[in-house]
A and B are shown apart, each in its own frame.
Chain A
């Protein structure tokens, strides 16, 4: 059993700490049980189960640190791993960016663990596969999908008296449905902490419908179009944009957040004033850990408020250098939405394109946060408030900064990849070429 209770974890870590002879010692402990099933060509291809447990010790003498890892937790192993970390620390060069471990902290109680998810069985996974494969086969469609579920814990303790423990569960599902004539493709994804919220048949139906709707797509000219981005289409661009919220690279002058002439864009309006993005580990729809790997508490934090950069993330080292409070990176992202459903957004669009997802997104220019990638698995032309016909996929070259400046309407929020992202209608989204890919 790789999932230890808070008390069991505390005892193991206390035991390990009792062997420490270093100036400071910090211990991280994790364990998880996970299972998956993969299917393609309307049949199961692989499935597996994994059990992992790890204890990481970082011992420090002055500014010299050593890290050692072990997956057995008996007394002799614990003593060995602490000794090894200390030996490594003595051999290491001094790290001028070393930060002493934090003292005791106050944490909110997280809501990331759901018992039913921890009890998923191989039979349940096979049933999920069947609820994709059977309806697909009935409609002359081929299913390929992947279900991955896990239950785990993480804990931290150090020689300065800090202790934190968290348990969490996750279930992630993606499915691609392709029409057997090869001209249509649809996709959907779902992720939850609580598996009882997951309906594999519903998710599979969305993908099957899109596969059938996207058959025999027509080519239209690349150019600037009004787009309705499903949350799965915008999440990665937003996530990539978030990478620029790093105070250090901004201060160093090598980030989109660096300002001409020096300084950063903290406090500046960079996108439409309706854009509000924050993080909140206690949000019931996207719960996340209430502390990070260094034991820093994670609280609700605003990043963009009315289009203005409200915070940049400061590591403990960089915060000390700059004489400010450390602002840890968040464990989720929430973007404010509106009331409009996807149907409402389509109804209010004279001419536009509905994008299911964007794929193979890569940085083109870190200076402007320009990214390229392609639409995939369901791209449709909208005219006079209705989906007119499927269109061939496009390559885009666009920056999320430009995208959020060209915002037209915010729709309902949807959970995607552990974040809450709204449907968005955006004008002048830049498509630069056509792709024949289905």
Chain B
């Protein structure tokens, strides 16, 4: 077994044992979440220590990020609270350019002495690596922003909501699932607050307060006599919102086919858990799919992951250029295809946009982690590949002068690098609902929610599952299906896109823990779309007798 799995299983004490993934920071009492932390004036003074030290040692550029990262996670199963975790991580990361080379060091000693020492380390690393550097860093210009601030526009800070209220809500959802036929249910609430301060030698002092939330669960139904089990995951999306996402507002619910309720900017976890239990039971006896070509009607909470893997990742410029070759891979979307100006990524109705400003999205911030003001830009317009995702030290490689503002680090003690912004499919322009779309399909499958996903290292060939599948026959939903996965090729798939519902059906999907880089870092990103139709996609049957 892999060593990291051992660490997860063996744990570092019972607290860590419950964690399904590595966690950052030290645990703190819940009241400490409400403490205000270091004030902005002090942060500025501390950041200036780094910037001045770097300049005095010959750096041509330096930035300092003082971060306080607060996380609260709640885990339950059936009628039990498994764990409540509150963590805090605080420190400073200093990045410099010396002798044309990046250097980075970090410390949790956020005082002049500690900062000076870390800055000296960053300079020493830059100078040591300069000896084998063949591509000196070239930064796109950025004007200093002075002292500015930005905050996720939340209505209810999760830190102000008592833990008991959160626990009660999850247990209520669990109870609803059990009452409706579930054999097991696990549920969790992930809440994150990044308090980030950025300063650079170019005169920016940026204070940001970023919030994210993700409620989720897995419901399992079992047929002991047949030795079968089926699970249904939550149809929630992680969001760049406050605790108000948990309000379950009726106005944010979308009625889907076959009695499914889908959610926009407000989630009703009890209602979804109730439906999940019923659907998990139904799956136990649902029909196994006949393999073949189908028209797929993909719901936004499903399509988001397909967008993420087949558009978001291949258009990361660092992948295209080979910086990720040893890990995630490279990209089919090579520079020559982009330069040709006529590479048909998708059909003419496909417009894919990158956006770091979209309200409610996980990627929304005012400024990225190298002080660039965030914006929205086109990746694919009318089906043609028109741009990539690039940061300050990359844009010169695609003959552009302005960073796209999508640089991110998961923490103060990791170096920032290019990360995926929100990448979304624009809704269709004419009035058209998911119901209209199903009516127009003769032989198809409606897929909602995320499932199994796998794609090659250049992002050509992919295979996706989903949370729930319904057969469409002659414009009607004809019942639930099992064992569905579709296999396609990115360009072929996006060129088979024939219809996109209008903006009334537009919703966000999110990935809370997207991994990239060595050592690996996580980031959170949203993908919006309306229900979309893809014609003649290859569907396989994944059922096996073992």
A: which residues have CB within 8 A of B?
26-28, 30, 36, 38, 40-50, 54, 56-58, 65, 67-71, 84, 87-88, 91-93, 95-97, 122, 126, 129-130, 133, 142, 144-146, 148, 154, 170, 174-176, 178, 187, 235-236, 239, 242, 252-256, 258-262, 288-289, 292-294, 328-333, 359-370, 372-374, 376, 393, 395, 397, 399, 401-402, 417-419, 432-438
With the chains together, A59 CA to B340 CA distance in Å? Answer: 64
> Chain A contacts of B540 at CB under 8 A?
397, 432
Any chain A CB within 8 A of the CB of B27?
yes
With the chains together, A433 CA to B518 CA distance in Å? Answer: 29
Contact A437 B329 (CB under 8 A): yes
Q: Which residue of B lies closest to A30 (CB)?
A: B12
Contact A433 B132 (CB under 8 A): no
Contact B322 A69 (CB under 8 A): no
Given A67-B13, A260-B226, A331-B6; A364-B452 close (CB under 8 Å): yes
Any chain A CB within 8 A of the CB of B10?
yes
Contact B327 A370 (CB under 8 A): no
Given A56-B15, A260-B226, A372-B463; A359-B10 close (CB under 8 Å): no
Contact A48 B457 (CB under 8 A): no
Contact A54 B12 (CB under 8 A): yes
Contact A438 B458 (CB under 8 A): yes
A-B contact count (CB 8 A): 267
With the chains together, A331 CA to B2 CA distance in Å? Answer: 8
> Chain A contacts of B81 at CB under 8 A?
93, 95
With the chains together, A45 CA to B465 CA distance in Å? Answer: 36
Q: How far is the CB of A153 from chain B (nearest CB, A)?
A: 12
Other A-B pairs, 13, CB within 8 Å; known A49-B105, A370-B542 = A36-B519, A40-B324, A47-B125, A92-B84, A122-B128, A142-B322, A145-B326, A293-B11, A364-B463, A418-B2, A434-B461, A435-B461, A436-B458
Shortest beta-carbon contacts, A-B, top 7: A67-B15, A260-B227, A435-B461, A437-B458, A144-B325, A437-B456, A293-B11
Q: How far is the CB of A90 from chain B (nearest CB, A)?
A: 11
Contact B543 A365 (CB under 8 A): yes
The one of B12, B330, B458 that contacts A293, using a Cβ cutoff of 8 Å: B12
Contact A362 B460 (CB under 8 A): no
Contact A71 B108 (CB under 8 A): yes
Contact B227 A372 (CB under 8 A): no
The one of A49, A58, A235, A397 that contacts B13, using a Cβ cutoff of 8 Å: A58
Contact B487 A178 (CB under 8 A): no
Q: Which residue of A lies closest to B222 (CB)?
A: A253
> Chain A contacts of B12 at CB under 8 A?
28, 30, 54, 56, 154, 293
Any chain A CB within 8 A of the CB of B16?
yes
Any chain A CB within 8 A of the CB of B377?
no
> Chain A contacts of B463 at CB under 8 A?
364, 372, 395, 397, 432-433
> Chain B contacts of A419 at CB under 8 A?
1
Residues in B63-86 with C-beta less than 8 Å from chain A: 80-82, 84
> Chain A contacts of B338 at CB under 8 A?
none
Contact A175 B2 (CB under 8 A): no
Write out, one digit per residue, whether chain B residues 509-546 have a CB within 8 A of any chain A CB (1) or not (0). Answer: 00000000011000000000000000000101011111
Contact B224 A374 (CB under 8 A): no
With the chains together, A296 CA to B455 CA distance in Å? Answer: 39
Q: Which residue of B lies closest to A132 (CB)?
A: B326
> Chain A contacts of B224 at CB under 8 A?
253, 261-262
> Chain A contacts of B125 at CB under 8 A?
47-49, 122
The one of B226, B321, B458, B461 that contacts A41, using a Cβ cutoff of 8 Å: B321
Any chain A CB within 8 A of the CB of B149?
no
The one of A178, A329, A333, A369 that contacts B325, using a Cβ cutoff of 8 Å: A178
The one of A47, A236, A366 that contacts B129, using a Cβ cutoff of 8 Å: A47
> Chain B contacts of A434 at CB under 8 A?
461
With the chains together, A27 CA to B108 CA distance in Å? Answer: 23
Q: How far is the CB of B232 from chain A (nearest CB, A)?
A: 13
Any chain A CB within 8 A of the CB of B388?
no
With the chains together, A181 CA to B128 CA distance in Å? Answer: 31
Q: How far is the CB of A214 from chain B (nearest CB, A)?
A: 13
The one of A91, A142, A372, A401 that contacts B454, using a Cβ cutoff of 8 Å: A372
Any chain A CB within 8 A of the CB of B398?
no
Given A41-B323, A130-B132; A46-B227 close (CB under 8 Å): no
> Chain B contacts of A236 at CB under 8 A?
2
Contact B326 A45 (CB under 8 A): no
Q: How far is the CB of B407 from chain A (nearest CB, A)?
A: 14
> Chain A contacts of B9 at CB under 8 A?
292, 329
Contact B332 A46 (CB under 8 A): no
> Chain B contacts of A374 at CB under 8 A?
454, 456-457, 461
Q: Which residue of B lies closest to A41 (CB)?
A: B322
> Chain A contacts of B133 at CB under 8 A?
43-44
Contact A129 B228 (CB under 8 A): no
Given A30-B12, A148-B519, A438-B458; A142-B325 close (CB under 8 Å): yes
Q: How far is the CB of B394 from chain A (nearest CB, A)?
A: 12
Contact A399 B13 (CB under 8 A): no
27 contacts between A and B (CB under 8 A): A26-B13, A40-B324, A48-B415, A48-B519, A65-B14, A69-B26, A71-B108, A93-B81, A144-B324, A170-B3, A174-B327, A187-B326, A260-B226, A261-B225, A289-B10, A293-B10, A293-B13, A360-B456, A362-B454, A366-B229, A370-B544, A372-B454, A393-B461, A397-B542, A417-B1, A432-B540, A435-B460
